[in-house]
A and B are shown apart, each in its own frame.
Chain A
């Protein structure tokens, strides 16, 4: 019980919020808007899964927003060139992985601090993209949006897809040696090395992993509208890091799980719509999210 205190308290908070909404703003529970919200959140969920791994490994990646924008535009351009959708998906994931590998190479290979490396790449990729695209949207051909399905089917596909990824990754982190190595390296890299676990390779692969997931998330975002906005992904890194931290993953590494991250993301994502339905000004969203983050970190501090 005490072991999962953080995850349980977040779940409690979310439950309270949902209950409050059920009582005071039942309009929140209309199916179609909820589905759209879920489909939107799926994108962040996929990235949050990757970010959880990065933070468990005791690193951080604040370049995900820029990587996301670059991958989105690449995906859009490839789709606009009438590549088959499967190829676009594969290519975008690969592009994301390469960007992730660049970060990973600098962090694991040269031993540079990840916060500064990803700060540098964040600025570079974002500015580079702005330079190349000048803010121009990419118009997608027919059949790309919602994977060519109806909106409802498309949204369900996204939601289920994100959940499948969540479940697969959660299982991997719990039951696969590779997943446990990430915890080991995040807990104490030197002890890991002595035990025969390669810390540098592990960190490198974690960065590649989040890159690939960002690529996938970019696809999931792309299919939700007829155009690709090169400004998409702005602020994603902080949203995702917040979800991970609120979900009980310690910034010091080595602990936390994806179920907590899932609940944490849901909590943060529901704040905005909850405000609308409760007829509170939507502009309180950031402030409330800030308070939630602070409460979570205080809870983590008190646990220790």
Chain B
């Protein structure tokens, strides 16, 4: 009988030919926050799905409080006290907080009467328990994302969860909201709940977790106490090789300033007074914690949520962008963060995706030219090494990395002057990742001004010629290329790094 709350031993899981987990062992103590770190495709989500009972392992053992759980199903896992909180809360947007909690926690008979008082009290009790100041009457749709996650946590605890898994919970939270979530997590820890915290944001691991396990290519590389680790060591464990060696080097000096922002602000997006220059042939990395306002800045530049004050200059000329159409006409391209919803149209063929941004130029008189379109697609498929069955294959048939290449191709076809990339290798497998990095570097070499948003610290450090760090909607520091990871992180956190 070990002292562990949750113990996985030698868990293996394959999907067809893909071996997602190869003999992974993992343990979780009560009253611990255990971070699970790893690149995309390392096996994190498969491991979680096995713990929550959504998948069955091919081999291995799962024990809770030292007892073998046997085969898990989602229902059994719930009964054993395992709860998982995803990025997208599984709540009913039109119903109240109390009703959401009530529907999740009760297995009432269809013909039973709803006791609204009891529901309200239950919700109130659960929310108070975790210190969440949310009214039980509030409609879920009116709550912010972290508030919704708090409701989910309340549900999980209400269901008697002792093992709470948080899967990238801070992906859409602001900095303040992240701190709130951390406070709640620490409170839960005090009460003996064991938490598995999945993230690829190193700064959060250091702030919150007690232990960290690194997964790489389906194997557990090591479990260490967080206070015995530093970022460089962690990164090395995650990636397995030296950071600087992976990224293609800059080969040329940057040219004239192509793109400038002066006191650029967008109230709605929380962007305040941003000033930034990007030169031809240069890659400016935009670093910062989630919620710092980077995507909001990109969206303001591109015209999705236009700016309300400040200036944008292209080759020295002042330009006004009120819509994505304006931005494209001016030569600004944006490869968005949400690849599947905004980057490509999944149902449409690759070729049509690629010409989606250049209708005016490529199809004069609005007549479609199928032959020319196909040739364009074939060219890009060749140049970007896109693995597809043909230009007519729907984008949905491609892997994440290849979809990202199609998204990139769409904007390359537009021959932009400025390219804004938002998390260009998120959810992309390791092989395609380095290909995309090479493509980006060669684009810069050809004179493109590139602004690259990334939450992947090694990527930002490895790729950027200069690093702009954003915090609370504005740029707080400009760091040179190849800065130290902890310098960047310190700037992102708003602290002074050691030695400054």
Query: A interface vs B, CB < 8 Å?
Result: 3, 174-178, 180-181, 183-184, 186-188, 191-192, 194-197, 250, 253-255
Contact = CB atoms under 8 A, between A and B. Distances in A.
Contact of A177 (B90, B92, B104, B114): B114
Nearest to A3: B139
Given A3-B139, A184-B103, A197-B103, A177 B93 contact: no
A110 B58 CA distance: 34
A188 to B, nearest CB: 5
Interface stretch (B105-113, B258-266, B308-316, B319-327): B105-113
B110 A175 contact: no
A254 B92 contact: yes
Given A3-B139, A195-B104, A197-B103, A180 B91 contact: no
Contacts, number: 54
B103 A195 contact: yes
B103 A176 contact: no
B95 interface: yes
Contact of B113 (A175, A183, A250): A175
A181 B114 CA distance: 11
B94 A183 contact: yes
A227 to B, nearest CB: 40
B39 interface: no
Nearest to B94: A254
B159 to A, nearest CB: 11
B114 A175 contact: yes
Contacts of B90: 191, 194-195
Contacts of A192: 92
Given A175-B113, A177-B114, A180-B99, A196 B94 contact: no
A183 B103 CA distance: 11
B114 A180 contact: yes
Nearest to A194: B90
Which one of B90, B103, B107, B109 has the highest number of Cβ atoms from chain A below 10 Å of its Cβ? B103
B96 to A, nearest CB: 9
A178 B110 contact: yes
A187 B89 CA distance: 14
A254 B113 contact: no
Which one of A174, A175, A177 has the highest number of Cβ atoms from chain B below 10 Å of its Cβ? A177
B95 A177 contact: no
Given A3-B139, A180-B103, A195-B104, A174 B114 contact: yes
10 contacts: A3-B137, A177-B112, A177-B113, A177-B114, A178-B110, A183-B94, A194-B90, A250-B94, A253-B94, A254-B92
A196 B107 contact: yes
A187 B95 contact: yes
Classify chain B's interface size: 20 to 34
A187 B114 CA distance: 18
B111 A187 contact: no
A183 B95 contact: yes
Given A184-B103, A195-B104, A197-B103, A255 B94 contact: yes
Interface in B121-159: 137, 139
A184 B110 contact: no
Interface of B: 90-95, 99, 103-104, 107-114, 116, 137, 139
Contacts of A187: 92-95
A223 B27 CA distance: 73
A178 B111 CA distance: 6
Nearest to A256: B94
Given A195-B103, A196-B107, A197-B103, A254 B114 contact: no
Contacts of A183: 92, 94-95
A175 B113 CA distance: 6
A187 B112 CA distance: 21
Given A3-B139, A194-B90, A250-B94, 20 more contacts: A3-B137, A176-B111, A176-B112, A176-B114, A177-B109, A177-B113, A177-B114, A180-B99, A180-B103, A183-B92, A184-B92, A184-B103, A187-B92, A187-B93, A187-B94, A188-B92, A188-B93, A191-B90, A191-B92, A254-B94
Contacts of A194: 90
Given A180-B103, A197-B103, A191 B110 contact: no
Nearest to A201: B110
Contacts of B116: 175
A12 to B, nearest CB: 22
Nearest to A197: B103
Contacts of A197: 103
Contacts of B137: 3
Contacts of A186: 94
B99 A177 contact: no
A48 B463 CA distance: 62
Contacts of B113: 175-177
Contacts of A180: 99, 103, 114
A191 B112 contact: no
A183 B100 CA distance: 11
Contacts of A181: 110
Nearest to B108: A177
A183 B116 CA distance: 15
B443 to A, nearest CB: 40
B154 to A, nearest CB: 15
B106 to A, nearest CB: 8
A296 B431 CA distance: 54
Contacts of A175: 113-114, 116
A255 B109 CA distance: 22
A293 to B, nearest CB: 22
A40 to B, nearest CB: 33
Contacts of B99: 180
A208 to B, nearest CB: 14
Contacts of A177: 108-114
